[in-house]
Every structure is written in C-alpha cells, then in structure tokens.
Amino acid sequence: MTEAITLQTPLSDGDVEKLHAGNRVLLNGVLYTARDAAHKRLHELLQAGKPLPVDLRGQVIYYTGPTPAKPGRVIGSAGPTTSGRMDVYTPALIAYGLKGMIGKGPRSQDVLDAMKHYKAVYFGATGGAGALLARRIKKAEIVAYEDLGPEAIYRLEVEDFPVIVINDVRGRDLYAEGVRAYAKT
C-alpha cells in the first residue's frame, strides 16, 4: 500500500491535480462543515450575487453534523453523511472555488463534471467511524447558521484527518473502478 499524501488546506489547483482516485490523504488545517440546509442557504447567496458567510475558495467542506462535545472534548462524533443530498447545490460552490468535499457515497454527473472543469476532488471518509474521526479535530467553532444546530457551518482545525480520494480531476471514480474490478472476479 502506498504512503498517504499529506496536504495543508486551503488547497490549490496544483494540490488537487496531483491526487488520483484511490490515494490516501491526511488533511491538515481548516475544514468547514455543511449539510443540506446550509448548502441551500449558500447556494441562494451565490445565486443572488451576495457574499458567503465564509470564504470557501480553496477550502474543503466536510459533510457532517457533529454531535455535542462530551466534557473535555472539542467535538462529539463527526462522521460523514451521504453526499448526494448536496449534489444539487455543489456545482455552483465548485465554480465559486471550493476545492474539496468529504462525505460518503457516489456523486452526480453534474458534480463530477464540475470537479473536472474547475479542478476539485471528492474525498471519502469512513462511515461509522465518527468518534475516531473526531479525535483528529483539534478545534471546532460555529461560524455561520447557528440556528441550524448540528447542521450549522463549523470551522474545524484538523491534524492528519484521514480520507481517500474517490473522484479526481481527471474524472476517475474509485467506486466505479471497485465495481468493475469486483465484476471481473
């Protein structure tokens, strides 16, 4: 197995261009969380030509709704949610400058096309491992849409946050490649 690639956010075109579907990556720096309701609000702001509450250019969004932190912890469990629910809003965010997304499950063709055109990647995180992933989060604060509760936008500071490249800028899809490989056996 190849060694993991370590990246610091925000990401550049060069950062995402060197990634290939199947690469293991350790992310360091800032991730922003956002789920369905926050994506809808962000999309509406972009459509109206208004500024976003956080500058997402070069950034990575983690599709999670963290649970409340237990005493002595920075954050509660923070596992990935199904990414497809954000797909209707995602191409506009990628066009704006979003460079990465973390979640689980396949993406729509519109999202895949936007990732190729604007140079962005989709990372997978292990579902069911939210408590373990939370250990990689060193700081968490709500930065927008506090009224959404766990679906508010959080700014997370992470160290060696483990993900796998599912979709790269060349259009490769690790999920589809896995299905093809399994079908041959």
Is omega for the bond preceding 150 within 30 degrees of 0, making it cis? no
Higher pLDDT, residue 122 or 134: 122
pTM of the model: 0.94
pLDDT at 98: 98
Task: Work out the percent of the chain whose per-residue pLDDT is above 70.
Answer: 98
**In the chain, what are the domains?**
5-184 (3.20.130.10)
Distance in angstroms (rounded) separating the CA atoms of residues 23 and 168? 10
Provide the pLDDT confidence category of residue 1 given band limits of 50, 70 and 90.
low
What average pLDDT does range 14-34 have in this prediction?
97
Contact 162, 61 (CB under 8 A): no
Alpha carbons within 13 A on the beta-carbon side of 185: 5
